[in-house]
Structure 1
Amino acid sequence: MQKRTTNQARQPHARNDNARSHLAWNDFEVILAIVTGGSLSGAARALGVSHATIFRRLGDIEQRLGVTLFERSRTGYQPTLAGEELAATARIMDEAALAAERKVAGRDLEPSGEIWVTTTDSLLMGVLAPMFTAFRHRYPGIVLDVAVSNQLFNLTRREADVAIRPSNRPPENLIGRPLTKIGQAVYGHRSLGLNPGAPIQDLASQPWIGAGPRLQDSAVDQWMDNNELKASCVYRVDTLVSIFSAIRSGMGLAVLPCYLADMDPDIVQLTSPIPELEYGLWFLMHPDLRGVVRIHALMDFLTEVVRAKSRRLSGNPLKTK
């Protein structure tokens, strides 16, 4: 048997320098997915392919380049310096592709096509659903694709085209238009027999419903703390629609947007709108979409119909004798 030379042992798969080893976008995508996910299985889930496919594609990339891109261990895949450099390039390419997509999306001339809208469950239920119906009648060529979430989607990454959101401080990287102000007051079910206009201190003996931590309503949380109502809180839940449902069941008192609570005649407004709990309603979008005709059609339409209902949305003050 012929003995292997040292040079042969070190380079069993020597790369042909004449072979082309150019990386395609799919290669950068695989590298970035592994870095982001920390493992082949995480990358496979992100890209919607099998673990074996990622394993094969990574091996092919490393063989073509002649370098190791990841250190393998029981805890996952850690990028080498070369892997980090390629992942950084992949991030730049990904952002450039997203920016190009946003700019191309702004070149339509007619109000037609799809608009991805994200908003909250309470706004859709209490305000926007009939407005969206009226918008579809006016612009039958536009399809609204609505994602209901209490978290603000990443508009930069085109998780949505526009967001219709309650906020007093909208993100600085977005542009948009303030639509109106939303008022909030204390409400309870009629069966509790409480009289509107009573001081908050007199309502502290009642059971209260609070916002769960995932609702992220720090203003209401601070207001309840300032009025020593947290000790009376018997139930917490993380959506406004769920708080509304709890009031309807007679669970206790709670702060709600007036537009939502006023929908039910059995729910009684116990206070005037609370000034420190007022917030703005915004139409938000990424700056690259400012020229999209269909999006401007939706923004202008909602501006018109929402502002026509500003008085109801800001809440009704209690009439005092």
Structure 2
Amino acid sequence: MPYKLDAADLETILALSRTGTLVQAGERLGVDASTVFRNLRRIERGLEQQLFERTRSGYRAKEIALALAEHAEQVEVQVESARSIAQQVPEQVAGTVRITTTDTILHGLVAPALKQLEATHPLLTYELHTGNEIADLGRRDADIAVRATKQPPEYLVGKQVGPIQVALFASKQYDAVQRYEDVTAGKARWIAPDDALPGHPSVIWRKRHFRKVVPHYKVNSILTVMELVALGMGVGILPTFLTRGRSDLVQLTDILHDCQTDLWVLTHRESRHLRRVSTVFKYLSTTLKI
């Protein structure tokens, strides 16, 4: 008699295909790793074929597992939609929304927006992940991505909020540099994310206009660039949304138009139909001001 997959089987396959390890899959499912292993063995025996390749780094989904995971995602979306409909207070949206962004965008834009959203949707909770990668949204490790990019991945849908304008800044207490001419004269120490973000527009711009300059401080985020600039430790290229209202900083250049990129609010095609996701997505898309 053919093996009959059920919803729990699909949930196991989806969790393992997303995470790649028994431990992480178990955390998603609320069981231990040994239970995930036993369930996988049972499913594979029933289907009479291997669903995952065992590698040193974990479990890699084979073609059939990926196909089953797609169906499992559809089931997941439908279940969440049904839960939203069944809420006792229809106008109230509840649940957890996972957002991935950079620390700079979180600090300057997303966190203040979520604080305002709390007043109208107090039952929503959030998991906030900061990093420079965007791939986690494709694996459904996040529901929404707020990213600076010129070309979002094709598998995501979203809205372009607008251009992120940047300029060169120094601190008012950095006596050696208070004008752009001080920078061109070689008086400035530079603060930049060269190693962490080698393709960042600010890094490319500096290398084009100041080819011989080696940053005195190399950091791993634009937020850290601002913190060090504010301390008077050097100059750095910063987004103007981050410096808005900062009376302690001096803008040394006009807006560097050839150095700007675009801010996008992105989500997966199927996740956008979930009420909790669509609520936050629409709010961020219309509220974020840069």
TM-score (normalised: structure 2): 0.75
Map of 1:290 onto structure 2: 272
Identity %: 26
Structure with max Cα Rg: 1
Structure 1 unaligned residues grouped into runs of 5+: 1-19, 314-321
SS of the residue aligned with 1:224?
Answer: helix
What is the RMSD computed on CA atoms of the aligned residues?
3.9
CA distance in 1, matches of 2:179, 2:147: 30
More deviation, 273-282/99-108? 99-108
Paired positions, count? 274
CA distance in 2, matches of 1:209, 1:166: 20
Map of 2:107 onto structure 1: 125
The structural deviation recorded for 1:27 is 7.9
Asked if the contact 1:209/1:236 (under 8 Å) is kept, the reply is yes
The structural deviation recorded for 1:45 is 6.2
Matched, 1:100 2:75: yes
Structure 2 unaligned residues grouped into runs of 5+: 86-90
Matched AA of 2:246? D
CA distance in 2, matches of 1:157, 1:88: 16
Map of 2:181 onto structure 1: 198
CA distance in 2, matches of 1:184, 1:122: 13
Q: 1:61 to 1:183 in 2, by over 3 A?
A: closer
More deviation, 167-176/212-221? 212-221
Matched AA of 1:169? Q
Asked if the contact 1:111/1:294 (under 8 Å) is kept, the reply is no
Asked if the contact 1:183/1:258 (under 8 Å) is kept, the reply is yes
CA distance in 2, matches of 1:67, 1:166: 43
SS of the residue aligned with 1:231?
Answer: coil
Matched, 1:112 2:99: no
Map of 2:120 onto structure 1: 138
Matched, 1:166 2:141: no
Matched, 1:91 2:66: yes
Map of 1:4 onto structure 2: none
Q: 1:230 to 1:142 in 2, by over 3 A?
A: farther
Matched AA of 2:115? T
Matched AA of 1:142? L
SS of the residue aligned with 1:139?
Answer: coil
TM-score (normalised: structure 1): 0.69
Which residue among 154, 162, 179 is the counterpart of 1:180?
Answer: 162
Map of 1:316 onto structure 2: none
Alignment of 1:137-156 (within 5 A): 137-156=119-138
Matched AA of 1:201? T
Which residue among 224, 235, 250 is the counterpart of 1:242?
Answer: 224
SS of the residue aligned with 1:213?
Answer: coil
CA distance in 2, matches of 1:69, 1:134: 45
CA distance in 2, matches of 1:71, 1:225: 44
The structural deviation recorded for 1:51 is 6.9
Q: 1:65 to 1:182 in 2, by over 3 A?
A: closer
